[in-house]
Structure 1
Amino acid sequence: MSPHPSPSHHPSPSNPSSARSGPLTGTVPPPTRRRMLLGAGALALGASALGCAPGSGTGSGTAEVRFWSLFQGGDGARLETMLDAVREQAPHLRVTPSTLAWGPPYYTKLAMASVGGRAPETAVMHMSRLPGYAPGGLLDPFDLDLLAEFGVTAADFVPDLWERGIHDGVTYAIPLDTHPVVLFHDTAMADRAGLLDTDGKLRPLDSPEAFLEASRAIAEVSGGSGITYGHVNDDSQGWRIFWKLYNQTGARLSLPQGGPAVVDEDEALRVFSFLAELMDGHTSEPNLTYQSALAGFSSGRAGMLICGEWELPYLLDSVENLGAAPFPTVFEQPGSYADSHAFVLPRQSDPDPERVRAAHEFVALMVRNSLTWGEAGHIPAYSPVTESAEYLALTPQSDYAPAGETPVLDPEVWFAGAGSQFHSDVSEALRTAVTGQGPEAAVEQLTRSLDSWAARTNPSEGVS
């Protein structure tokens, strides 16, 4: 299995409880083409949109639901299993799935389809990308009363995650999962290194000193590396590990439009200093690529791996004694970098009520059938699934499931999120910290990059 290029996901906004039930209010006006250009975030647009021409129902008692996703490989296979379940449970829905390329191409085409009147009834979006789409009028809101008819309500989700799908008091995204970065480990090595408790679970590594000590102890057992992390050739890995640790310190980051960024430089220095000590070239290597970190752990040359849970299927096939746990609370507050795959309703210029209803039923059925998604490693967002006996019997999924309760998503700004240029730019600071001029220079570099992004104009502002 090739490495998943994703995640996701986070300070949560404060939204009135009334926004999560009752009739729809506060919908945005239809997007102009200029507004769409911004809604697509900082993407380089120009690719032609993919999509089907809109049409009416089939007239045969079925309702069509065109569905776009970016799931390939193992995730794509799990998705097909879920789609088969939906077709069996709701034969009156004619589901037509389309799989598009991950990253900027997907989000460009989704934005252009929404503007061009050729959008599907529903699509998958990373929750972290919502601030670039909902304000620009590229999405239609969900009717929560209609969704509740099909057995799905706000009460079925972790509040912080549900609220990230709300913009201006209206719900635009229904979470399918949380996919956090977790700590994988070889349980046999961890046992020999004295890192397991009496139940055979990884003991808490709840301070910088405990984390570093664990890395050194398991490196002695592996004969190679301790805790390994691949970030060199990945556009997001540097940001992911910094952002979750920065949030664990309790520090806040503000990116007001026009800038400057407000960042706690003392806490940022604390984070980069810790990472430089961890990846010191002795027990943990400082210059691993994503692929080399995976290979080092799966071959037994490293005892632990910091990675997204989306690699679980590959690791289950590669590591005989695989264990996993939520990313440790290294600093003061729990939390791990995460994103969420969510369902959205791309903007329809002339929505067909029959198809709108069918799209709501489809989304509800997909989240209710997300045990299959959990088997692939993702943490289902729908609580009745994660609390079920079937999910709790999955290992090591149930061991890291608590990570879904404290996800750290990207800042809620138009330029952030999965597959963004922002991720690539701010990730450079980690390389400066561990293999360049050091942590102090990394803080300066990060601050400059954050200032630059905050100063950029959101293309959708002031566009009518």
Structure 2
Amino acid sequence: MSLTPHRPPPPAGSAPPPSRRGVLLGASALALGSALGATGCSPGPDDARVRFWSLFQGGDGARVETMLEAVREQAPHLRVTSSTLAWGPPYYTKLAVASVGGRAPETAILHMSRLPGYAPGGLLQPFDLDLLAEFGVTAEDFVPDLWDRCVHDGATYAIPMDTHPVVLFYDTEIAERAGALDGDGHLIGMDSPEGFVEAARALAEAGGGDGVSFGHVNDDSQGWRLFWMLYNQTGASLELPEGGPAGLDHEAALRVFEFLAEAFDGRTSEPGQDYPTALAAFASGRSGMLISGEWELPYLMEHVENLGAAPFPTVFEQPGSYADSHAFVLPRQSDTDPERTRATHEFVALMVRNSLTWGEAGHIPAYSPVAESPEYQGLSPQSDYAVAGETPVLDPEVWFAGAGSQFHTDVSQTLRTALTGSGPEAALEELGRTLDSWASRTDPGGA
């Protein structure tokens, strides 16, 4: 769903002028950008220079560095420099400042969920798909549902590197004692609300602890991720027209809240865990299952001896796993050089083609030739949940949603109300008010 007026697509590789949204984002962030050290580099003589910004730290940062080294070996003519910035609002603030002020890197990582707040505002340039195809990357190499989200007004503004969904981790030993595994060691009997609850209770009895752990208290996004995934599994839609009111299916939302209240009833599964507590409970064997993002795989592989993983089960009528995507974008350039544009497209293509390294960290490569390769399919347990990348449940296509947004924080509170507060009915009323409030706000790029 698009909340911005239609505009004709700009020529591939051109730099559309920033809209009111872009100017507002840049102007409101200039002071903060200065505090963050938003500095730019003067163009050098090397037309193959590619400056790359990301927000990957820790283990993910090490994986990206491995990929960068592979690119440097495969394309030594590229002059690649990378910068790692702080995750969250500071990163997106600095990216907006750089794009408006003409100090942007040639390419950067953007969460796909944030694209509706950047592409319409003129903060990004579109990719040249013919040029990208020269380096072995085409639209047909990606899951259609994911690729469609890269497109705004007929132009492609993002190239996905991955999908990173919410999945279900489980202790295979506890699950076997609970009779919850088939002959191949995969979870069974969880394809309905009743089946999920029964399995969680059986796991609690078999393990002597919680059936399932989920950390959402004091977290800015976890509550929204779980609700939005399950709401989409009901087949319901959500309309967020500018000016409101929100078009929420109240019956479907209540089904979700009631199911979760039963699953996290306080007897066999704790309803009020924060993120670190839930992670520690599963890692220490005090919980049979964990609902979390696949990004926790490296930590869990180190701490859980009998680790299994699966896509989140289809509890309601249709499959779907909440997911976002780390995607490459082209921040707006004040002076677009054709040779540097070509070098940037080559760099992005090579990073995507080297994403097996990224898959080893738990993320699902978005580039199908990698995701379908024997090397990736041989990874365990990654290959057991890889199908989740085929049915991603992405954030609504609205300017105020996305990773690190205040919207995530506000709507996540409603799950806390459902599980640890006044219950599902009160959570439904709170969610309706929150969605109406956000829908009523003016899109800064719409005027």
1-structure distance, mates of 2:343, 2:399: 30
Q: In 2, distance between residues paired with 1:334 and 1:122? A: 33
Q: What is aligned with 2:6? A: none
Percent sequence identity is 74
Distance 1:38 1:263 in 2: 30
Distance 1:110 1:330 in 2: 39
Q: Are 1:29 and 2:42 counterparts?
A: no
- After TM superposition, list the pairs within 5 Å mapping 1:201-240 onto structure 2: 201-240=186-225
Task: Provide the rounded CA distance (Å) in 2 between the counterparts of 1:40 and 1:166.
Answer: 23
> How do residues 48-59 of structure 1 correspond to structure 2 at under 5 angstroms?
48=34, 50-58=38-46
Q: 1:445 aligns with which of 414, 430, 435?
A: 430
Give the unaligned 5+ runs of structure 2: 4-8
Q: Quick check: 2:16–2:125 contact (8 Å CA) kept in 1?
A: no
Shift in CA distance, 417/41, structure 1 to aligned 2, threshold 3 Å = farther
Counterparts of 2:273 and 2:171 in 1: how far apart (Å)?
19
Q: Structure 1 length normalisation: TM-score?
A: 0.92
Correspondence list, 1:37-52, <5 A: 37-38=23-24, 46-48=32-34, 50-52=38-40
User: Counterpart in 2 of 1:74?
Assistant: 59
Shift in Å, 1:47: 2.9
Q: CA 1:262–1:219 in 2, change beyond 3 Å: closer, same or farther?
A: same
CA distance in 2 between counterparts of 1:278 and 1:311 reads 22
User: Is 1:100 the counterpart of 2:85 in the alignment?
Assistant: yes
Partners of 1:190 and 1:357 in 2: how far apart? 52
The one of 412, 417, 420 equivalent to 1:432 is 417
Alpha carbons of 1:244 and 1:460: their partners in 2 closer, same or farther (altered >3 Å)?
Answer: same
C-alpha distance in 2 between matches for 1:160 and 1:110: 26
How far does the alpha carbon of each residue in 1:28-66 deviate from its partner, in whole angstroms, 9 at most, with x for none? 73116x5325557998973326242240432xxx61100
Deviations 1:174-202, CA, capped at 9 Å, x for gaps = 00000000000001111111111011111
Is residue 370 from structure 1 mapped to residue 355 from structure 2 by the alignment? yes
Q: Which residue of 1 aligns with 2:332?
A: 347
CA shift at 1:354, angstroms? 1.4
1:455 aligns with 2:440: yes
Describe the superposition over 1:223-263 as per-residue Cα deviations: whole angstroms up to 9, x where unpaired.
11001100002100110000000000000000000100000
Unaligned ranges ≥5, structure 1: 1-10, 14-18
For residue 176 of structure 1, the aligned residue among 158, 161, 165 is: 161
**Partners of 2:15 and 2:336 within 8 A in 1:** no
Alpha-carbon distance between aligned partners in 2 of 1:113 and 1:325, rounded to the nearest angstrom: 40
Residues 44 and 127 of structure 1: is their aligned pair in 2 closer, same or farther, counting only changes over 3 Å?
A: farther
How does 1:270-309 map onto structure 2 within 5 Å?
Answer: 270-309=255-294
Report Cα offsets for 1:242-296 as digits up to 9, x if no partner: 0000000000000000100000001101100011111110111011000000000
Match of residue 366, structure 2, among 367, 378, 381: 381
Secondary structure of residue in 2 paired with 1:47: helix
Q: Is the 8 A contact 2:180 2:187 kept in 1?
A: yes
Q: Alignment partner of 1:179: what SS?
A: strand
> Following TM superposition, by how much is the alpha carbon of 1:459 offset from its aligned partner in structure 2, in angstroms?
1.4
- Write the distance in 1 (CA, Å) between the matches of 2:404 and 2:198: 34
- The TM-score normalised by the length of structure 2 is 0.95
Distance 1:204 1:380 in 2: 28
Which residue does the alignment assign to 1:262?
A: 247
Shift of 1:339: 0.1
CA-to-partner distance for each residue in 1:377-414, whole Å, 9 max, x for gaps?
00000000010000000000000000000000000000
**Higher mean displacement: 332-341 or 23-32:** 23-32
Q: Which amino acid aligns with 1:35?
A: R
SS at match of 2:32: coil
Deviation (angstroms), 1:26: 11
Q: Distance in 2 between matches of 1:272 and 1:27?
A: 46
**Is this contact kept in 2: 1:39–1:138, CA < 8 A?**
no
Counterpart among 247, 265, 282 of residue 232 in structure 2: 247
Q: Give, as a single letter, the amino acid of the residue that structure 2 aligns with 1:66.
A: R
CA RMSD of aligned residues (A): 2.0
**1:172 deviation in Å?**
0.1
Q: For residue 337 of structure 1, what is the amino acid of its counterpart?
A: Y
Conservation of the 8 A alpha-carbon contact between 2:51 and 2:105: yes
**Paired residue for 1:6?**
none
Alignment size in residue pairs: 440
Q: Distance in 2 between matches of 1:266 and 1:213?
A: 23
Aligned residue type for 1:124: I
Q: Which amino acid is 1:31 matched to? A: P
Counterpart AA for 1:67: F
Given the superposition, is the C-alpha separation of residues 43 and 229 from structure 1 closer, same or farther in structure 2, using an over 3 Å criterion?
farther
Q: Distance in 2 between matches of 1:43 and 1:73?
A: 27
Q: Is the 8 A contact 1:70 1:102 kept in 2?
A: yes
The separation in 1 between residues aligned to 2:57 and 2:87, in whole angstroms, is: 9
